[in-house]
A and B are shown apart, each in its own frame.
Chain A
Amino acid sequence: MSASGDADAATLSSSIGIVGVLALLVGNAISVPIFVLPGPLAGTAGPSLVVAILLAAIPASFVVLYNALLGSAMPVAGGLYVYISRLTAPYWGFLVPFTIPLVAWASLLITATGFAEYTRIFVDVPSTPLIYVLLAFVLLVNLIGLRVVAQVQLVFFAGLVIALLTFIVPGATAVDAANYAPFFPDYGAFGLAVVALFYPFLGFGLLVELGEEIENPGRTIPLVLGLGIGIVALFYVALIAVLVGVVPYTELGAEADLAMAAAQFLPWWGEYVVAAGAVFAVVTTVNTTLLVFSRTLMRASRDGILPASLARIHPRFETPHYAVALLGLPPFVLVPIADEIVGLSVFIGLASLTAYFFCAIGLWNLPREFPAHYANAPFRLRRYRGLLLAVLGGAVATGAFWIVTLLQRPIVGVVLVGWFVVAYGYYRYRLAKTDRAETYRTMTSLDRHERVEESEAHHASGDASGDTPRADAGEGGD
């Protein structure tokens, strides 16, 4: 079975509508930061965490813009990998599927730790067995497939919203202004919190990874992204403002901080409602983590730059079971580092924003490399105004993230760049095992079913107000 031979047959069969996509998106984005990250971060950064989440929303907004533009112009499965390899360089694209396992493992460990913390409010059992239970659950659900995931997600999403409102609305009346002083107890911790809090916004990347499986992606993706960022940002700021306003920050950083804070102003049942919401939220997060990431591995495998087994689809469940196993099994042996929540979050934030930086460069190249796709996009930016601003903004944010991380938590930067060097070695190894010119050609062009005909492009661009794409240019790479 060749890697590319499975390409058409491997296109996943499930299809998700707008409500399902919004639930997947908001549910995935909103869960982990709200229940797991603010406590440990506020324990050192203090009330400044409210500003940190607002600053983290800036690069997150750029990411939303990249996702909206690229996702609507080129709705393909394996989004970031495809965009970066086709629109910048194959090796930069290769870094996405090669680094994704680390990001997925870190994400699973954080959410599993959060699950254990909040579950212990209901049952008095040690954390470690609970972490293993969750990891096993994630593996199983993702092996079963997307359709089950979407249904489960909708139910948990409703519970999550109820729990959040139960915390935020009464909590807003219980805030003690004295808890906001000193506002900036540690500037270094504040900077690191900005990087770590970028991670909670990454659920928006989910959308482009599922491009092929979304109904009417050209309309759905921009609409859902706009709604999603508004909802998520509102929840984040409100929740963190209540958390640091109700409890002195020096008392935060222990287990299940939100439930502990809820007990300050809600009746006895309050902490249980919040804890239940946390469990729902954590489950929705892990529900989608492997689902999304496995698609990227599958696409890279179809291109021949990762082993062919990662593209194989399970005959019964129609999921890339080997890819899911690669993402879901290693965390079982990494559980001892699961309590390094801040470090793991910084790693995820840094790795992800770096990927999105390359995505921004790809966005800049899009009108030149794939003019037909750009012309077909439902909305566009002028190249030397909006697009340039988006690229420069992403570059500045990425540079700032790297500097803050290297100064505050250098081990994270060293691990990440060291992994990139290893990735280059593996890339060359894979290249040596294939027809390198053919692999290069594959990694710089789109699959047949993803291409847009020039005639469609001319029709679509006829009334466009943005730049006129290069009409005589063919679709790049082939």
Chain B
Amino acid sequence: MVGHYMAIGEYRDEPAEMDDVEREVAAAQYPEGGLVVGLGLGIVLPLVTAPALLAVTPFLGGVVGFALGRRVRDAAVRRRRADRTTAE
């Protein structure tokens, strides 16, 4: 199922609605990994620069990381689909 109904483009993955390519990519959990890395950077950077920012930057880092992770995930899906098409 692709296009408008493609679950992987939504906020949360819906395993039951995925095809095999989406499931392969979703397993890597790119948005979740991005969120955690962003959260970490959002904590460490203000600690070494301006600790007062600690109330804001972890949240911002998490959101940015999650968004970047989604882009990586979408790119991975497109790449795998292209590879499959080429192979066929």
Task: Decide if A and B are genuine partners.
Answer: yes
Show the binding face of A for B, using Cβ within 8 Å: 88-92, 365, 399, 402-403, 406-407, 410, 413-414, 417-418, 420-421, 423-424, 427-428, 431, 436-437, 439-441, 444-445, 474, 476-478
Contacts of B14 in A (CB 8 A): 476
Known: A89-B12, A402-B58, A406-B54. A421 touches B37 (CB 8 A): yes
For A410, list chain B residues within 8 Å (CB). Answer: 43, 47, 51, 54
CA of A175 to CA of B33 in the docked complex: distance in angstroms? 52
Known: A437-B23, A440-B15, A441-B23. A414 touches B29 (CB 8 A): no
How far apart are the CA atoms of A365 and B32 in the complex, in Å?
17
- Distance between A464 CB and nearest chain B CB, rounded to angstroms: 24
Contact residues in B for A477 (Cβ distance below 8 Å): 15-16
A440 and B36 within 8 A (CB): no
B-side contacts of A436, CB under 8 Å: 24, 27-28
- Known contacts A89-B29, A440-B15, A474-B16; 17 further A-B pairs (Cβ under 8 A): A89-B12, A89-B13, A89-B32, A90-B27, A365-B12, A406-B43, A406-B54, A407-B54, A410-B54, A417-B39, A417-B43, A420-B40, A436-B24, A437-B24, A440-B27, A441-B23, A477-B16
**Complex Cα–Cα for A476 and B13 (A):** 11
**6 pairs across A/B with beta carbons < 8 Å?**
A403-B55, A406-B43, A421-B37, A431-B27, A437-B20, A439-B27
Q: Which residues of A contact B32 (CB under 8 A)?
A: 89, 91-92, 424
Check B51–A407 contact: CB distance below 8 A: yes
Q: What's the dominant secondary structure at chain B's contact region?
A: helix
Interface residues on B, range: 20 to 34
- Contact present for A90 and B29 (CB under 8 Å): yes
Complex Cα–Cα for A406 and B55 (A): 8
A416 to B80: give the CA distance in the assembly, Å.
34
The answer to the question of B75 belonging to the interface, with a C-beta cut-off of 8 Å to chain A, is: no
- Please tell me if B6 contacts chain A, counting CB pairs below 8 Å: no
Shortest CB–CB separation between residue A364 and chain B, in angstroms? 10
Ranked nearest first, the 7 interchain pairs of A and B with the lowest CB-CB distance are A440-B27, A91-B29, A444-B15, A436-B27, A91-B32, A424-B33, A406-B54
- Alpha-carbon distance between A414 and B20 when the two chains are bound, in angstroms: 37
Q: A407-B51, A407-B54, A436-B28 are in contact. Are A441 and B36 (CB under 8 A)?
A: no
